[in-house]
Amino acid sequence: MEEIATSVLGRKGLRLGRIEVRLAQDEAEMRAAQELRYRVFYEEMGARPSGEMAERKIDYDSLDQYCDHLIVIDHHAPAPNEAIIGTYRLIRREAARRHGGFYSNAEYDISRLAAWPGEILEVGRSCVSPGFRNRPTMQLLWRGIADYIAAYGVEILFGCASLPGTDPRALAAPLTYLYHHHLAAPSLRPVALPHRYVDMRLMDPASITAEQGLKHLRLLNDLPPLLKGYLRLGGFVGDGAVVDEQFNTTDVCVLVKTDLIAERYSRHYDLKSNDGLP
């Protein structure tokens, strides 16, 4: 395994074998991240692009120019336009202020989070190329996020995490489970905006195991990998789900206090091996 550099903030990032994570450093790298997002969200997962997005083959919005873009680079890629194989969008408080708000503001009342006196970080638009959806890539992405958190003194990580599909009734078991077992404390709890609020209490919580034979561990394992990762790092969810027709998903707002990440990261995302790299 190659040496790991000291920070994702520099031109040389954190490297594990053939893949490296760092911040995008110019418009071309941000554009490549947007192209990857388009391929994953729209071409693979069935999101609905605008006419301009479809023509340009990129996923974008007005926040992109204000935030940082964490990218994963494959140094053995057969072509330059295939080199960026993972990305995560990072929005600190100052970037949101310059933009006029966080992405989550369109779905949730996050005023309790915004009132937190320390630095907060919204994460989103996470995706990885199909051939790299493995443990080493996720290790490196989370290592990059942890490095970014440490560099900026981030105390709370949050964002909208997605479950596939736009029919909350089909997601009754996971939504009910999340509400009853991972609901955030009232002092920080995001709440879905009234006109978008979907009650997550869609089943009798006692019936999840009795009717479907799902124990809590099984339910956790059946959640989307990204959402499962947040919960394993000590994460909580807000009150209310939100249907996102554009992205063909049902969202929940997730938050993690970063003082929990350092301890749990060492267990779940320790960079000791490059096993599984394609």
pLDDT above 60: residue 99: yes
Range 183-192 average pLDDT = 97
pLDDT above 80: residue 22: yes
pLDDT of residue 143: 87
> Which range scores top for mean pLDDT: 18-22, 132-136, 264-268?
18-22
DSSP string, 53-74: HHHHT----TTTTTSEEEEEEE
Q: Which residue, chain included where needed, has tokens 């000791």?
A: 272
Domain spans of the chain? 14-268
Range 47-57 average pLDDT = 94
pLDDT above 80: residue 37: yes
pLDDT of residue 220: 66
pLDDT above 50: residue 237: yes
Residues 6+ apart with CB under 8 A from 179: 200, 201, 237, 239
Would you say domain 14-268 falls under CATH 3.40.630.30? yes
For residue 14, what are its two tokens?
Answer: 């954190």
| pLDDT digits 0-9 by tens, 204-230 | 887 776 555 445 556 667 788 889 888
pLDDT of residue 263: 57
